Amino acid sequence: PACLHRRCINPAHLEPVTFKENAKRHWATITHCIRGHPFDKANTRITARGARRCRACGREWMRTKRAKSSSTNP
């Protein structure tokens, strides 16, 4: 069994996995977006490519975008 310590170099602890599986394990350890919102079921959107996106950040981005467009358009 793998010990899952990042810096462990003991060959007995290594587990051969595909790049995809390794990436999946890495992203599963990230529980919050860069702005601190949780990646939970209600706040996470999965893109067509399989990436996780924060719904709260998406709403904030859209609100900012709409505010900018309404202030520049008469």
**3-31 pLDDT tens trace:** 778 788 888 888 888 999 988 888 888 99
What would the two tokens of residue 52 be?
């996780």
pTM: 0.64
- CA gap 66, 42 in Å, rounded: 23
Could you report the per-residue pLDDT of 30-54, keeping only the tens digit for each?
999 999 999 999 999 999 998 899 9
Please list the alpha-helical segments (H only) found in 1-74.
Answer: 19-28, 55-72
3-class SS of residue 44: strand
3-class SS of residue 36: coil
- CA gap 58, 56 in Å, rounded: 5
